[in-house]
Structure 1
C-alpha cells in the first residue's frame, strides 16, 4: 500500500485518538496537521507551498461575518443569566402553576423554553434552574428523579430553540443561512418543550405523589397581584425574544445584526431592572472573551486539519465510504447520527462542529439531503447525547449544583423518559421532514 492510501486514514485515527486524551483540541489538531504535512512533504505527496494557504484560511475564519454572532449571543445570554432572569421567571411562573399537580415542574419546562429563546446558553440554564428550583421541588416532596429529569432536559432546550449558539455554528459549517436554521429549528424545539410538559402533566396525575400541588399558604401572590407581577417579569424577556427572532424571521436583520441587537437589549434590561452591576458586567465580558477565544482557537486548528486532510485526499476517502454505505440516505443518517451521538459524550459541541461536520457535509450534499433539516437533526441528536447517562454533559452540570440528598442514580433514572421523547422527536423528523420549515 502506497503512502497516499494510508496517510489520510492514519491522520484521521490519530486525531480521534488525541481527542480522547484530554489534550487541548485546538493544539492537537494543529500539531497533528503539521506532523502529517511534514510526512507528506517528505514522501513527495504535498508541496510545501501548499501550506501557504493556511494563513488565508485563518484570515477567512476571522473575517467570517456569520461567526460574529457568537460573541453577541454569548454576551446576551450570560448577562441575562447574571441578571437573575431565571430566578425571576421560576418564582413567578411557579406561583402561577402552583395550584396544579406538577405545577413547579411545568414551570421549569416553560422557563427552560423561555431561557433557551432568550439566552441560547445550555450550561447556564441547567445550573441556574438546578440551583433555584431543585431545592424548592425537594422541599415540597417532588420525586427526586422527576425533578432532576425535568430540570436537566429543560435546560438543554437552548441547544435547539433559537437563538441557539449551536445553530449559529451549525449554519456556518453546513453552509446554510443561520436564519433558515433558526426558522427550521423553532417548530421542533417548541414541540419538544410541549412533549416535556405533557409528560410532566401525565406523570403528575398518574402518580400524584411524584408532583403534588403547592399548599395554599405557600402561594404568597394571587389574583391581580400575581397577574401584574407576571406581566412585569414576562414582558421584558418576551420583548427581547420578539426583537431578536422577529428581526431574523422577517428578514429585517441577519443573525449577526440580531445578535448585536440582543446584546444591547440585554444591557438595557439589566439596567432597567437595576441588575447591571460592575461585577456582573465584568463576569459577562470575561465569559464572552473566554468562550469566543476558545472557538477561534478551534477554528485555527480545524483550518490546519482540513487543509492537510484534503491535501491528502482524505475528504474523498470519507466521502467514498459514506456514500457507499448500505441503505443510501438511511445508512448515511444512521452512521452520521451514531458517530455524533457517541462523540457528544466525550467532546464539546464546537469540536464536533469544526472537525466532524466538514467531513459529513459533502456526502450529505451528494445524497441530496436537505442541509437545514440535517442541521436540526444534528442539534436534537446532540441534545439527546448531552442528556444520556453516564457521560451526558447536562447530567454533570446538574450534579455539580445538586444537594447530596439527590443521588446520581436518581438523575440518571429521571432523564430516561426525556431521552425517549428526544428519540420520538428524531423519529418524527424522519417521518415528517416538513416539521423543519424554512
Structure 2
C-alpha cells in the first residue's frame, strides 16, 4: 500500500525542498509538525516537547559552542599567521616547501581550532599570494589551501565528531581517540602528494631562495610552536588521559584560547564581542537544525520509517557491507548539494539504528562518515571551503583553478576512506592501546 511508504515520501520531500533552497531547520521542523498534526492530532506537540526537552538535557552538546568559541577566538589571535611564517622559514628551501607548510599548519590549526571557514580564509589571505608570487601552480596552491583547511573535520577536537557522537549515541571521547590515526594519515598523504608533484612537475612548486625566507630567532620559532601545542595538550591530552570529558575539555580550550589571544596582545573588548556574536550565530544555526531534525526523526520513526527501511534491506538481501556502501555513497552525493550539519541530522539518524541492529561498530561508522563528510567541503557546486577561498583569492584565480585543484585531494580522501574500510584496525588500534 502507498501509505506504507509515506515515511520515504516525507524523506524525499524534505530533500527536494532543501535542494530548492528552503531553510533546512524550518523545512525539517515545519513538515514534521504538519505531518504529525495530520496523523496524531495535537498530541504530537506533547511528544515533540518531550523529545526536544530530552535533547536540551544532552550535556555533550555544550561542547559545540565552546569549541566554536575556541576556534573563532584563535582565528583572531594571529596564531595562524605566526605558524605559517615559521613553517615557511623551516620548509621553504625544499621543493613544495610552502605547500607542505600550509598542510602542517592546517593540521595544527585543526587540532587547536577545528573551524574550517576561519582556517581556509586565514591561510588563503596569507599563503596564497605568497605561493603565487613564488611561481606555484594556481591549481596546486588552491587545492592545498582548501583541503588543508578541512582537516578540522576529522582531526579532533572536531564539531563534526561531537555532533556525530550525539546522533550515533556513542562516546565523543572515543570518537576523538579513534580519529587521531586517520587524521595524521591524511596529513601525511597530502604532504606525500605535494612532494611527488613538486619533483615530477617542474615549476609546479619551486623552492624559495635563502634571501626570500623569513628570518626568526630560535625563541620566536619555539614560541610559535609552544602556544598551539600547549592548547592541544590541554584539550586533547585531558580527554585521552581520562581527566576531563569532551565538554569539560572544551571549556578548558575556550579559556585557553582567551589566554593565548591575550599573550599575542590581540585581546580587547571589540574582539571579545565579535567572537561572542559569531559563536552565538553559528551555535543557533546548528541547534535550530537539531530541533528540526529531532522533529523529523520523531515523526519518521512514529510512522514506522526505520522498520520500513529495515524490511526493505532484509527483503532486498543487502549485506551489512552493501548497506554501508549505499549509505556512504548517499552521504558523498549529498555532500555536493547540502551542508555537513544537515547530512548528520537528516541521513545519519535514519541509518544509525540499522547499523546498530546489524551489529556494526558505531565508532567505526562515525569515523567513516566523518571522513566522507570532509569531502563535502571540497566538492562543487556547494563546497564551502571553495567558497571561502574564492572570496579571499586574488582576481587571477578562477573558479576552474579551484575545481581542478581539489580533485587530487578528494581522491586522496576517498583512498583513505577505502583503506579504513578495508583495515578497521587503523581506527581501533589507538583506542585499544590507550585502554591497555
**TM norm structure 1:** 0.95
1:350-369 → structure 2 map (5 Å cutoff):
350-369=341-360
**Aligned position for 2:418:** 427
Counterpart of 2:370? 379
Closer/same/farther in 2, CA of residues 324 and 258 from structure 1, 3 Å limit: farther
Equivalent position of 1:116 in the other structure: 110
> Which one of 73, 81, 84 corresponds to residue 79 of structure 1?
73
Partner-residue secondary structure (3-state), 2:203? helix
1:37 paired residue number: 36
Matches of 2:264 and 2:54 in 1, distance apart? 40
Question: SS state of the match for residue 427, structure 1?
Answer: helix
1:334 corresponds to which of 320, 325, 332: 325
C-alpha contact (below 8 Å) 1:328/1:367 kept by paired residues: no
8 Å contact 1:325–1:332 — kept in the other structure? no
Residues 327/55 of structure 1: CA separation in 2 closer, same or farther (3 Å cut): closer
CA distance in structure 2 between the aligned counterparts of 1:326 and 1:399, rounded to whole angstroms: 45
Aligned to 2:398: 407
Whether contact under 8 Å (1:97, 1:103) holds in the other structure is yes
Contact 1:101 1:208 in 2 (8 A): no
Return the match for 2:193 from 199, 218, 234: 199
Post-superposition CA distance 1:405-426 (Å, at most 9, x none): 1121111111111112111101
Alignment of 1:23-422 (within 5 A): 23-40=22-39, 46=40, 48-221=42-215, 225=217, 227-422=218-413
Structure 1 residue ranges without an equivalent (≥5) = 41-45
8 Å CA contact retained: 2:338, 2:382: no
CA contact (8 A) 1:62 1:296 kept: no
Corresponding residue of 1:43: none
Deviates more, 1:352-361 or 1:310-319: 310-319
Deviations, residues 203-246 of structure 1 (Å, cap 9, x unaligned): 11222311111111112416xx2x32110111011010011001
Cα separation, 1, equivalents of 2:378 and 2:317: 30
- Contact 1:58/1:299, CA 8 A, preserved across alignment: no
Contact 1:152 1:395 survives alignment (8 Å): yes
CA distance in 2, matches of 1:96, 1:228: 14
Query: How far, CA to CA, are the matches of 1:325 and 1:143 in structure 2?
Result: 49
2: CA distance between counterparts of 1:296 and 1:29? 13
Q: Deviations over 1:52-83 (max 9, x none)?
A: 12111111112210000000000000000011
Taking the aligned partners of 1:85 and 1:37, their CA distance within structure 2 comes to 49
- DSSP 3-state at the match of 1:346: coil
> How far 1:393 sits from its partner (Å)?
2.1
Contact 2:74-2:257 within 8 A present in 1 as well = yes
Q: Do the aligned residues in 2 keep the contact of 1:322 with 1:363 (CA within 8 Å)?
A: no
Task: Supply the distance in 2 between the matched residues of 1:94 and 1:203 (Cα, whole angstroms).
Answer: 19
Which has the larger displacement, 172-181 or 321-330?
321-330
Task: Give the secondary structure class of the aligned counterpart of 1:436.
Answer: helix
**Farther-moved stretch of structure 1 (121-130 vs 134-143):** 121-130
**Worse-superposed segment, 313-322 or 289-298:** 313-322
Cα distance change on mapping 1:393 and 1:322 into 2, 3 Å: farther
Deviation at 1:38? 2.7
Once the 2 structures are TM-superposed, how far is the Cα of residue 324 of structure 1 from its aligned partner?
4.7
Give a deviation string over 1:237-278, Cα, whole Å, max 9, x none. Answer: 101001100111111100000000000000111111111122
Structure 1 residues 304 and 398, CA, compared in 2 at 3 Å: closer, same or farther? same
Q: Which runs of 5+ in 2 are unaligned?
A: 432-436
- CA change 1:433–1:64 in 2 (3 A) is same
Answer whether contact 2:335 2:376 (CA < 8 A) is retained.
Answer: yes
TM-score (norm 2): 0.95
CA distance in 1, matches of 2:83, 2:410: 25
The number of residue pairs the alignment matches comes to 429
Large movers: runs of 4+ above 3 Å: 322-327
Report the secondary structure of 1:274's partner residue.
coil
